């Protein structure tokens, strides 16, 4: 968060967002976490950014859980 690209956008969050939550955690693997894991950490331990026009969910972290899009089958009609 203290270096680019995060540093540059942090000053403009208020312009782009009505919700901004940050979280940091340790994990066993070096790979990126999946969305459900990230959501669990954000909603349980996230820190809400101070925004001029935050949504109601910004402070409470009452965000809907992620939904995986259905798999599309190529060539079907």
The model's pLDDT over 43-56, given as tens digits with 9 standing for 90+, comes to 999 999 888 899 98
Asked whether 36 and 67 are in contact (CB, 8 A), the reply is no
User: How long is the chain?
Assistant: 77
Judged against a pLDDT cut of 70, whether residue 75 lies above it is answered with: no
pTM listed for this prediction: 0.68
Task: Name the residue among 52, 50, 51, 46 with its Cα closest to residue 22.
Answer: 46
In this model, does residue 60 exceed pLDDT 80? yes
Contact criterion met (CB below 8 Å) for 47 and 8: no
pLDDT digits (tens, 9 = 90+) for 24-42: 999 999 999 998 999 999 9
Q: For residues 4 and 31, what is the distance between their CA atoms, to the nearest angstrom? A: 20
The angle subtended at Cα 39 by Cα 36 and Cα 43, nearest 5°, is 145
Give domain limits for the chain: 17-60
């Amino acid at each position: 968060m203290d270096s680019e690209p995060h540093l540059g956008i942090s000053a403009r969050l208020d312009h782009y967002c009505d919700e901004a939550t940050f979280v940091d955690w340790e994990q066993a693997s070096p790979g990126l976490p999946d969305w459900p894991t990230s959501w669990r950490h954000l909603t349980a331990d996230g820190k809400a950014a101070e925004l001029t026009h935050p949504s109601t969910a910004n402070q409470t972290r009452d965000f809907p859980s992620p939904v995986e899009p259905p798999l599309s089958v190529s060539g079907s009609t």
